[in-house]
């Protein structure tokens, strides 16, 4: 499995047909007035490619941890893991999975890079970086 993309948005939702409805997407930095800073809602839109041999099996996707500018894990609310089973897309030869991670009431203690580490079945598949700065 591998991460195809991960991007931040103000709000997002996966629709019944598998497409994604997104508001305020495509940023990788947040300008905040002061620290500690409170962010009411942040979404992370994620798509994972599932290898042929992994299709049809149940997997567990999750935001494993958030690493702060100091390199230490940041204590913030993490959503429940998302269980999924991907069907093989015959024409493509692989499957895929889309998830929206929505985190409410985030607190950023200071400026710097925050890395959102993503796992499937406890194996890291990638990360998304968010730079937070004062301005």
CATH topology of domain 2-134: Immunoglobulin-like (2.60.40)
Token code pair at residue 65:
């941890």
pLDDT at 26: 86
- pLDDT value of position 76: 73
Domain locations in the chain as residue ranges: 2-134
- pLDDT one digit per residue (tens) for the chain, 135 residues: 999 999 999 999 999 988 999 999 989 999 999 999 999 999 999 999 999 999 999 999 999 999 999 999 887 767 888 899 998 887 778 999 999 999 888 889 999 999 999 999 999 999 999 999 999
pTM (predicted TM-score)? 0.90
125 Cβ neighbours under 8 A, 6+ residues apart = 1, 2, 3, 48, 118, 119
């Amino acid at each position: 499995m591998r991460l195809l993309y991960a991007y931040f948005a103000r709000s997002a939702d996966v629709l019944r047909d598998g497409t994604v409805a997104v508001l305020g997407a495509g940023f990788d930095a947040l300008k905040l007035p002061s620290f500690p800073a409170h962010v009411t809602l942040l979404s992370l839109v994620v798509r994972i490619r599932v290898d042929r041999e992994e299709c049809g099996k149940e997997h567990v996707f999750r935001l494993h941890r958030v690493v702060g500018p100091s390199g230490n894990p940041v204590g913030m609310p993490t959503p429940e893991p998302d269980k999924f089973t991907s069907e093989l897309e015959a024409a493509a030869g692989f499957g895929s999975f889309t998830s929206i991670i929505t985190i409410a009431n985030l607190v950023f203690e200071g400026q710097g890079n925050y890395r959102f580490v993503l796992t499937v079945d406890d194996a890291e598949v990638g990360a998304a970086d968010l730079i937070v700065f004062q301005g």
